[in-house]
Chain A
Amino acid sequence: MAAVTLNQVRKSFGSTPVVHGVDISIDDGEFCVLVGPSGCGKSTLLRMIAGLEEASGGEMRIGARVVNDVAPKERDIAMVFQNYALYPHMTVFDNMAFSLKLAHASREEIRQRVDEAARILGLTEYLGRFPRQLSGGQRQRVAMGRAIVRKPQVFLFDEPLSNLDAKLRVQMRTEIKALHQRLKTTSIYVTHDQIEAMTMADKIVVMNGGKVEQIGTPLELYDDPDNLFVAGFIGSPAMNFIPGKFTAGGIVAAGNVTLSAPAGVPLESGREVIVGVRPEHLMVSDAGLPAEVVVVEPTGADTQIYCRIAGVDVTAVVRERHTFRPGETVRLAPQLTFLFDPASGQRLA
C-alpha cells in the first residue's frame, strides 16, 4: 500500500491540452474518487497514473517513488477496466492467475492466491468457466479478482460499473466498498456518477474541463461547495440556481420575488448574484416564495415537486405528504442558501 501524489500533472494530445496542471494527494489506504462529466480528463488522469498514457508534464509519485518514467508493469498497480478487459480465451482461473504466472510465482502460490481471491469474491464455483459464460456482475468480479490476487500498492478503477444495470450497480458498489474496507489498499476510482462518488469515497476530486474544481470528503463537497460547478454536480436532484440582484433587503429575483440573503455578507448593493438552494432545503411554508407547481412526483419516501419560482425551473423535495396539483401556487421557503458570482462561478457566501 502506498500514498499517491500528483504534482502539476498535465496532459496534451497533440496541441490540445486535456489535463491542466492537477495537484492531488491521496493518502495511504484512502478510497479516492475522481468524478466529473465526460471529457473532463478524469480517465486520462487515471491512465497516466497507470502508465498507459504518458504525462506531458508534472510529477507523479506512488509511495516515495516518482513513476513518470516507470513502465506500467513496474508500478505495482492493478486496474479494473470499464469493459473488464478479461482475456476471452482464458478461464476465470487463468485470467486471475495471469499476472502471477508472468511473475513466475510457484504453482502452489498461484493456486492459493487465486483460490483466496475467488473465495472473497464468491467466484469459487466459476473458476473453470470462460468469460463469455459469465453474467456481467460475475465478469466484473473476475476483473476485480485479477486485481486483488496481485496484492498491488494501488487499485485503479475506470468506471467499472457503467456497463451494469442499475440494480447490479448498487450491489457492486457496496461490494467494492466492502472489499476496500477489508483490504485497505489505496484505491483511485473514476466515475461520472456523483452518487457512486458520494457513497464510496473517502475523498472526492471533482474535475471539469481538465481542472480540479474541488477536493474534499463527500459531505464537505455537499455542505460547502467552492463554486457553481461543484454545487450543481454534487447532490441529487441537483441544486437550484436562481439569478438575482443583491440589495440591503435581500436578493431580488425576477418578478420582484425577494429571497433573504445569508447573514453578514459584505456585498455592494445592486450586484448580480446567483442564489443556490438544494431541493431538500426548500420547505413548504406560508412565509415562503410563490411557486407555480408544474409536476408532482411522489416516490413514497418523499415527493419531488417541479415548479417555477421567479421564472426559473426549480425542484423541491419534501418529506410531508401534500396533494398539490399542477397549476396551483404553493409557497416554498429556502432553509439554506448559497451565493455565487455569476461571472466566475465562485462561491460568495
Chain B
Amino acid sequence: MRFFDNRNTLGRVFMLPAGVLLLLFLTYPLGLGTWLGFTDAKIGRAGEWVGLDNFQFLFGDSVARLSLFNTLFYTVVASIGKFALGLWLALLLNRHIPFKSFVRAVVLLPFIVPTALSAIAFWWLYDTQFSVLSWALTRMGLIDQYIDFLGDPWAARFATIAANIWRGVPFVAITLLAGLQTISPSLYEAASLDGASEWQKFWYVTLPMLTPIIAVVMTFSVLFTFTDFQLIYVLTRGGPLNATHLMATLSFQRAIPGGALGEGAALATAMVPFLLAAILFSYFGLQRRAWQQGGNDK
C-alpha cells in the first residue's frame, strides 16, 4: 500500500490509538466536568448554563470553605511530613545496611498496597474501642483514656494526615534515593578534604544536588495529596462535622449522593487553579537551575 509508505502518514496512524484514548478518557471527562460546573445539572436532568452561579454559591457556603481549608491544611502538613520522612528514609537507605535490597523492597509496601485496603487497616488502628494505638499508649501509662481518633475534628484531621503520610513516604523515599545515588561519591570526598562536616556535606552538596528531583517528586506528591479521595472516603467520609472533608470528597458527596452534579463539578473545577499554581511554582521556582542547563557538555 502506497498510502503507508509516507513516514508522516504512518506516524499519524500509529499515534491514532493513543490520541483516541486520551481524547476519550482524559479530555472528554475533563471538558464535561468543567462544563457541568457552569450548569445547574442534577442527576436525571440535563442542566442549563448558569454561568458562575455555582461558584458564587460555593464561595458563600461554609462547608465548601471548610473543605478548602481542610484540603490546604491536609496538603501542606502531609507534604511536609512526607518530604521530611522521605528524605530521612532515603538518606538511611543510601548507606551500607545489611539486607539492603530487601529493606528497600519492604519500604515500597505501603505504596503498592491498595489504598482502600490500607485505609481499612488504619480504620481498625483508629477504632474507638479496639485501637491498638490507644491500647499501647494506655499500657505504657501515657494516657488513661482511649483516644477518639476519628471522632474529634482535630484528631481526625491529624489521623488522616498520618495515614496519608504513611502511604506517600515510600514514593518520596525511593525517588529521592534514586536521586542520591546519582551524586558522585567523589564530591563527598572532595567536600571532606575541603573541611566539610557531615552536616555541611548535606547542606552544601546533597541538598543542592537533589533540588531538581525534590522539585519533581514534591510536585507529584502535592498533586496526589491535594486530590486525595480514597483514604478520606474510607476512613471518615468527611466527618466528623465535615472536619476532614477535602474538596474531592465534598465534590463527590454533593454530586453523586447529593445529586447536585453542577455544584459538585464546580467544586472539582475550583481545584484546578490550585493544582496549576503548584505545578508552576515547582517549574519556575525549583526545577530550573543554571548549572543544570548544560551549555556545551564537553
Contacts and interface: CB of A to CB of B under 8 A. Distances in A.
Nearest to B194: A99
Nearest to B185: A85
A103 B195 contact: yes
Contacts of A81: 186, 189-190
Instruction: Assign chain B's interface to a size class.
Output: 20 to 34
Contacts of B289: 89
Given A88-B209, A88-B291, A133 B190 contact: no
Nearest to A158: B186
Interface in B260-294: 289-292, 294
Interface in A79-118: 79, 81-83, 85, 87-90, 98-99, 102-103
B200 interface: yes
Interface stretch (A5-13, A70-78, A253-261): A70-78
B95 interface: no
A135 interface: yes
A103 B200 CA distance: 12
Contacts of A130: 290-291, 295
B77 interface: no
Contacts of A88: 209, 291-292
Contacts of B193: 50-52, 72-73, 77-79, 99
B88 interface: no
Contacts of B296: 133, 135
B139 interface: no
B195 A83 contact: no
A225 B194 CA distance: 39
A271 interface: no
Contacts of B154: none
Interface in B161-218: 184, 186-187, 189-196, 200, 204-205, 208-209
Instruction: Assign chain A's interface to a size class.
Output: 20 to 34
Given A52-B189, A83-B186, A89-B289, A102 B298 contact: no
A87 B187 contact: yes
Contact of B192 (A73, A90, A133): A73
A85 B189 contact: yes
A277 B297 CA distance: 46
A63 interface: no
A119 interface: no
A98 B294 CA distance: 22
B194 A83 contact: no
Q: Which of A82, A99, A131, A135 has the most CB of B within 10 A?
A: A99
Contact of B187 (A78, A85, A99, A146): A85
Contacts of A146: 190, 194
Given A77-B193, A98-B194, A89 B186 contact: no
A79 to B, nearest CB: 5
Contacts of B295: 130, 132-133
A159 to B, nearest CB: 12
Nearest to A163: B298
Nearest to A91: B291
Contacts, number: 75
A57 interface: no
A136 interface: yes
B194 A102 contact: yes
Contacts of A71: 192
Contacts of B196: 73, 98, 102
Contacts of B208: 89
B184 A89 contact: no
B298 A135 contact: yes
Contacts of A136: 298
Nearest to A102: B195
B192 A89 contact: no
A90 B187 CA distance: 12
Nearest to B183: A88
A72 B193 CA distance: 5
A102 B200 contact: yes
Given A73-B195, A132-B295, A85 B209 contact: no
B192 A72 contact: yes
A131 B195 CA distance: 21
B194 A73 contact: yes
A141 to B, nearest CB: 15
A131 B291 contact: yes
A89 B209 contact: yes
Contacts of A99: 193-195
B98 to A, nearest CB: 15
A46 to B, nearest CB: 12
A83 B187 CA distance: 10
Contacts of B186: 81-83, 85
Contacts of A72: 189, 192-193
B208 to A, nearest CB: 4
A87 B188 CA distance: 10
Interface string A187-223: 0000000000000000000000000000000000000
22 contacts: A50-B189, A52-B189, A71-B192, A73-B193, A73-B194, A73-B195, A77-B193, A81-B190, A85-B187, A85-B189, A87-B187, A87-B190, A88-B291, A89-B208, A98-B194, A98-B204, A102-B194, A102-B195, A102-B196, A103-B195, A130-B295, A133-B296
Interface of A: 50-52, 71-73, 77-79, 81-83, 85, 87-90, 98-99, 102-103, 130-133, 135-136, 146, 150
Given A133-B296, A135-B298, A146-B190, 10 more contacts: A52-B189, A52-B192, A73-B192, A77-B193, A81-B186, A99-B193, A103-B195, A130-B291, A130-B295, A133-B295
List the 10 shortest-distance A-B pairs measured between CB atoms, nearest first. Answer: A133-B295, A99-B194, A85-B186, A85-B190, A73-B195, A130-B291, A89-B208, A102-B195, A89-B291, A72-B192
